[in-house]
Chains A and B, each alone.
With several copies, the nearest count.
Chain A
């Protein structure tokens, strides 16, 4: 088992729920991203989703779209992100999931990617536009080196499909809490609960819930039935709003630890 599995086990032992935080690598710069990562870890974040920016993020709302554009403008590449992980690994054991779209990985070379990512200390990948049917071309390499392939489950995913996806999943399952793109609508707790319970019935893997969660109250409610909560756009917005503030890391850490508090 890798860092992700270990983390969920540990949390389970302490009856805590996982706080998973997304941030776009390179927004505003990779060096700031590194500082943020280390700050977030201290603030109690359990797992990091590091967004690899892409020119055409079709599953993302305006906040993450703009963050990706800023990151690309600042010169961020997949290679740079992998270097960042290498740097982080020198001082931190926080589980890291790379989050993004397939084309940058494909352009980099899937085999090379799996190899370098493993070496850098990447624990999982979540590729938005690589559904079950197309995942093989990446997974033959990432599975081989023990990188978890985090699978998405949508509100539209039917039972049969869910079963197939869950059967092949590793790390944890990521349940998308809204029929929509990142950071746009407020999730309906009851619906999520029903679906998460359904997922639980067919898998032993931890289930995290994300898309549109920004408030401690939401996090608390979701944590009642899920194993983890993903905060994305809210953090991205806060980073953008405070990027010129000397206290950026402090502000983000403050926000994040506020959420983590309710998950304990």
Chain B
């Protein structure tokens, strides 16, 4: 496959840098700094040190025997991103960006957050490196995700309540961008997924690609071969891209990105940008978007707050278009059943986001032969969702 993106951040027709002029110089500066770090062995060593010593990498590739046996099909491995410090893959990226920001001499971090996982991961690295930190979060999400709000505050971050628009993740990102426009000189915007203007999608993908690199090494050691299938949930797409990227040129590895179908694709309540959206431009890049016929962006919905975003990373749009990855959907109901299934079978409570990937594996595995191998990216732990599950009486 051709190296993506091009120099302006385009993955095929997707991606790019659709940003306000005020931000353009900052984005270009960021890109330059990032390129320098990519080539700098010291930076890479530093990054690896923090991943290993601070976040606890490598995360295990765990053979889920009880899950596999009860589905009577493929062997299922779980890539345990839930074991990272702060409880999800998000820290892989925030560590990378924070180290980059420190190199660039920035003293302040901002970030948007929906579920609060990225907010916590950002507040965490801000504390770790002694930076000021503001986290933008929709009023509605602040209410839904109180425990993560507490965590951010304890870590010293200011949680900025966003009331504009629909007061959820999309608006938090709008507000973060507005704030960034006003503070771009000393502030580093830590975007939480493979979205945003170039170079974010590429940079986040690269920081997250440790997931796939480790997986490859681990499965080679365990099974002596590539997995047959990779499955990951897709919100903005960072855990999925981190899982897929290493395997992109391995023709024998089928990949499935799982979007949130919420109450169903036939309803307006879902977050399936690829399966239920159209190409458009938002938050600095061109990609699939949930939008009405007039190009107004629609609210996303999913029981998993971290999937509740109306766009998707541009590289995913590209992988969809080139058919490298198959994008499928899972409803709230299926995700909740998978959440419970994994908890009961393996003693691992998955994040509701990750439960979407589990749910899809539950559909696929029984149709596959026993010698086939599925790897699921278990992007995060579900402690944060216990309340939601109990409240909705979903069990």
Using CB atoms and an 8 Å cutoff, list the residues of chain A in contact with chain B. 54-62, 65, 69, 72, 77-79, 101-108, 128-134, 151-158, 161, 165, 176, 178-181, 184-185
Query: Which residues on A sit within 8 Å (CB–CB) of B181?
Result: 58-59, 179-181
- A/B pair count, beta carbons within 8 Å: 129
For A77, list chain B residues within 8 Å (CB). Answer: 294
Please state if A131 and B25 are interface contacts (CB–CB under 8 Å). Answer: no
Contacts of B356 in A (CB 8 A): none
Can you pick out 30 interface pairs between chain A and chain B where the beta carbons lie within 8 Å of each other?
Answer: A56-B171, A56-B283, A57-B174, A58-B20, A58-B181, A59-B178, A72-B296, A77-B294, A78-B295, A103-B289, A103-B295, A105-B295, A131-B20, A132-B24, A133-B8, A133-B16, A133-B24, A152-B21, A153-B21, A154-B22, A156-B22, A156-B24, A156-B25, A157-B25, A158-B25, A161-B24, A176-B22, A179-B185, A184-B182, A185-B182
Residue of B nearest to A158 (CB): B25
Q: How far is the CB of A154 from the nearest CB of chain B, in Å?
A: 4
On chain B, the number of residues with a Cβ less than 8 Å from chain A's Cβ atoms is 40
State which of B75-83, B205-213, B274-282 sits at the interface with chain A.
Answer: B274-282
Instruction: Assess the A176–B278 pair: CB atoms within 8 A.
Output: no
Q: Is B177 touching A58 in the complex (CB atoms < 8 A)? A: yes
Q: B293 in the interface, Cβ–Cβ < 8 Å?
A: yes
Contact indicator A104/B182 (Cβ below 8 Å): no
- B21 x A154 contact (CB < 8 A): yes
Assembled-state Cα–Cα distance A157/B278 (Å): 33
Instruction: Give B297's nearest chain A residue, CB to CB.
Output: A55
B105 contacts the other chain (CB 8 A)? no
Q: Is the CB of B291 within 8 A of A103?
A: yes
Residues in chain A near residue B183, CB distance under 8 A: 179
Set of chain A residues within 8 Å of B20, measured between Cβ atoms: 58-59, 128-129, 131, 152, 154
Interface residue ranges, B against A (CB under 8 Å): 8, 16-26, 28, 164-165, 170-171, 174, 177-178, 181-185, 278-284, 286, 289, 291, 293-297
A residues in contact with B17, CB < 8 Å: 131, 133-134
Given A55-B165, A56-B165, A103-B280, CB of A157 within 8 Å of CB of B291: no
Are A104 and B24 within 8 A (Cβ)?
no
Chain A contacts for B281, CB-based, 8 A? 101-103, 106, 129
Alpha-carbon distance A107/B298, docked complex (angstroms): 13
Smallest beta-carbon distance B227→chain A, Å: 38
State the CA gap A128–B181 with chains docked (Å): 12
Q: Which residues of B are found within 8 Å of A59, using beta-carbon distances?
A: 20, 22, 177-178, 181
Given contacts A56-B165, A59-B181, A129-B284, whether A104 and B296 have CB atoms under 8 Å apart is yes
A154 to B171 Cα, complex, angstroms: 24
